[in-house]
Amino acid sequence: MATNDSVGILNSAYLAVEYIDSFLPENPLQQPFKNAWTYMLNNYTKYQIATWGSLLMHELSYFLICLPGFIFQFIPYMQKYKIQQDKPGTWERQWKCFKALMFNHFFIQFPLILGTYYFTEYFNIPYDWESMPRWYVLLSQCFGCAVIEDAWHYFLHRLLHHKRIYKYIHKVHHEFVAPFGMQGEYVHPLETLIIGTGFFIGIMVFCNHVILLWAWLICRLLALVDVHSGYDIPLNPLHLVPFYAGARFHDFHHMNFIGNYASTFTWWDKLFGTDSQYNSYREKLEKQECMVEKKTK
């Protein structure tokens, strides 16, 4: 009885959103996107779309999302938003990071991407335009994937900080105390597999169209690069996401090495008290800022 009630509530909510959506003006980007999607389906095989399309989507998305943070370091005005201002970025660090990324992307991640087509075939995941979920369904699925990945990341990340195994795997990611966007995927190959597994769990739960693979990939990369950016930008739209951790939260993890283990949200750290040192640090900073303001008045 309770299950039927739950299903009825979900169906009613879905119909309500559908009803509201019917009154909204047509998205001007929908037709061009449909044309591009149809062209892709007509000119490439499912294997090519799932494999080479996913590789291209990952590489382009990752480095395009990293680009603003990379440019910020050359703009004096943006330096006031840099979190660790005493640790500027260097070309040497970024070149070292880029070389490691290329190895991970093509020798660790790409072999995993090769299995995308077989995954979609095994679970009969459609590619056609007609089966593509509406934007709000896709957005809710991405949020669900983020919740699952965040839980996986919190517990596995915390495990990787255990003193007996930290130096063998996770120490690589902490090589740079002041993170920068491109460093998000700068990890030991084993960590790519261990932490990266959380990315695929949500797909296995929610995926009903190949578009979710790419939509969730972009969402995950946006959050990953943002929390490692080293900049706390006030007008960041990601701050509108409830319980979003953000750059300051994760930047403290790189400074402190203890606490703030979650990837996207703050609730696991709050629940287990692993944000206590961060909270003390923030309180200390706020007191210092208040004292400076009083002196300047």
Picking from 255, 256, 283, 250, the residue whose alpha carbon sits closest to that of residue 269 is 250
Q: Is residue 175 part of a domain?
A: yes
Percent pLDDT > 70 in the chain is: 89
pLDDT at 291: 74
Tell me how many domains the chain contains. 1
pLDDT at 2: 43
Q: Is residue 204 part of a domain?
A: yes
Q: Above 50 in pLDDT, residue 282?
A: yes
Q: Is residue 290 part of a domain?
A: yes
Judging by beta carbons within 10 Å of its beta carbon (0-12, 13-18, 19+), is residue 125 exposed, middle or buried? Answer: buried
Q: What is the pLDDT of residues 110-132, one digit of tens each?
A: 999 999 999 999 999 999 999 99
Q: Is residue 247 part of a domain?
A: yes
Q: Could you say which DSSP state residue 182 is in?
A: G
Using the structure block, give the residue that is written with the tokens 């970025």: 89
pLDDT at 58: 97
Q: Is residue 40 part of a domain?
A: no
Q: Above 80 in pLDDT, residue 16?
A: no
pLDDT at 289: 75
3-state secondary structure of 82: strand
Q: Is residue 27 part of a domain?
A: no
**Residue 160 structural domain:** 45-296
Amino acid type, 151: A
Q: Is residue 155 part of a domain?
A: yes
For 9, 116, 131, 239, the CA distances from 128, given in Å and listed in that order, are 29, 16, 6, 34
Judging by beta carbons within 10 Å of its beta carbon (0-12, 13-18, 19+), is residue 124 exposed, middle or buried? Answer: exposed
Average pLDDT, the chain: 90
Q: Is residue 150 part of a domain?
A: yes
State the Cα–Cα distance between residues 55 and 286, nearest whole angstrom. 44
User: Where does the pLDDT of residue 86 fall: very low under 50, low under 70, confident under 90, or very high at 90 and above?
Assistant: confident
Q: Which residues contact 233 (CB under 8 A, 6 or more apart)?
A: 81, 247
